[in-house]
Structure 1
Amino acid sequence: MIFKKDKRIILAGGVFLLTLLTYLSSLNNPFICYDDYSFIIDNQLVNEFNLKELFTSFSSGHYHPVTLLSYAMNHAFFGLNPVSFHTTSLLLHLLNVLLVFWLVFKISGKPSIATITALLVAVHPMNVESVSWAAARSSVLYP
């Protein structure tokens, strides 16, 4: 019984490590000209950190208060440092991957299925943009 729990921890740790290694280079990405400027850099809601405004205003035609709150918190703690924005997105993705591992294991009872499923979520090409592009934070906050 103890060995089975240790095996799950090792497998989940391996998935975590592989995911981290896959996206580690994205931490050095700069902000890019697409939506990073309108959603983050030039966004008064992010720069001023007014909770009432964050939850009652639209930004660039979108209503994403939790996303804006996460941007505002990044800005409040680390300024407009792109590394902090990418690090937060990577940490959220890592959390999602571990949650997938846990959920699939709870449903299937098989560590191998949980590992394969979590790996697919972790490194699937469709998730690269969500993790590597600061303005795509909403995709890792509520996938």
Structure 2
Amino acid sequence: MSIKQSRWTLIGISIFLIALTWAVFGQTGNYQFVNYDDPLYVLDNAHVRAGLTWRGIAWAFTHVHSQNWHPLTTMSHMFDCQLFGVNPGAHHLVNVFFHSIAAVLLFILLAQITNSIWASAFVAAVFAIHPLRVESVAWIAERKDVLSGVFFMLTLLAYFRWTRKQTVGRYLAMSLLFGCGLMSKPMLITTPIILLLLDYWPLNRSQRSASFAQPPARLGPTAAREVRGQKSSNPPWTKLVVEKVPLFVLSIGSCVATLWAQNFALGSTQFL
């Protein structure tokens, strides 16, 4: 497949994934708010209903919301109210939008790191319409999940680009995206571990993973033995861990912020 054909294939599959996601979840545009957490996140929150303002942004970063500190999620709800008021259908469809973007990003990521377009398309399609995604997409209060999902996929893509060309700018971009993901939902604290798993496969960045790599089939048995016997130029695991120290620091910071938010919320409840 030529580069031009490959590009059009990627575009076509991306459009298909978006259409598939909206075909399944577009019906949520007819749904209402539910009484479980939706009032807490939107309807009964005066700061959120006021829309996206400088005062609201400051509040999102300095206050605990729904027993969590996730300012970007809070700001996304503010932005919805700024555009749509408290129209539940529009809030639902924003969730669908974020999920469709995450599905496309997953496809692009897998296609780039595995060079297998159709297998990547299948995996992304399963992710797009998997029943386990229904709660996150069809529930307005779960905006944090679909929003963090977008930043998670962007972080993985940025990491892959950084492994190809290790510049300070690319590392800062990856760290910024990861930080945004943590400020959407702290569940992403395990991302540095996931990056280490990607180093092993399919990126094959570690010495151990490289030692298990098979030599090309076109080589004869003698040449194949020589390839297996060559010392890997990949970095050791210690270096792979050390290069992710800033990301681990962000994860630890998110853990501290989450524990503080939970304890603060618990203390407020006991006080009331």
Same fold, judged at TM 0.5 (above)? yes
Task: Name the structure 2 match of 1:42.
Answer: 44
Correspondence 1:108 to 2:119: no
Task: Name the structure 2 match of 1:65.
Answer: 71
Q: Distance in 2 between matches of 1:77 and 1:16?
A: 23
Structure 1 residue 63, shift from structure 2 partner = 1.3
Deviations along 1:10-31, one digit per CA (max 9) or x if unpaired, are 2222122111101111111100
SS of equivalent residue, structure 2 residue 47: helix
What aligned pairs does 1:61-100 form with structure 2 within 5 A after superposition?
Answer: 61-100=67-106
Structure 1 residue 59, shift from structure 2 partner = 1.6
Q: Distance in 2 between matches of 1:18 and 1:125?
A: 14
Return structure 1 stretches of 4+ with deviation > 6 angstroms. none
SS of equivalent residue, structure 2 residue 136: helix
Q: Which has the higher mean CA deviation after the structures are superposed, 47-56 or 85-94?
A: 47-56
Q: Distance in 2 between matches of 1:51 and 1:13?
A: 34
Percent of aligned positions that are identical? 29
* Cα contact 1:35–1:135 (8 A) shared by 2: yes
Q: Distance in 2 between matches of 1:93 and 1:77?
A: 19
Q: Distance in 1 between matches of 2:38 and 2:103?
A: 25
Q: 1:131 is aligned with what amino acid? A: V
Task: Name the structure 2 match of 1:52.
Answer: 58
Deviations along 1:72-111, one digit per CA (max 9) or x if unpaired, are 0111111001111111111111110110010000011111
Task: Name the structure 1 match of 2:17.
Answer: 15
Q: Distance in 1 between matches of 2:13 and 2:83?
A: 33
Deviations along 1:28-52, one digit per CA (max 9) or x if unpaired, are 1100110101111001221234111
Q: 1:34 is aligned with what amino acid? A: Y
Q: How large is the RMSD of aligned CA atoms in angstroms?
A: 1.2
SS of equivalent residue, structure 1 residue 33: coil
Q: Distance in 2 between matches of 1:108 and 1:119?
A: 16
Q: TM-score of the superposition, structure 2-length normalised?
A: 0.51
* Cα contact 2:137–2:143 (8 A) shared by 1: yes
Q: Number of aligned residue pairs: give it.
A: 143
- Give unpaired runs (5+ residues) of structure 2: 150-272
Task: Name the structure 2 match of 1:138.
Answer: 144
* Cα contact 2:17–2:100 (8 A) shared by 1: no
Q: TM-score of the superposition, structure 1-length normalised?
A: 0.94
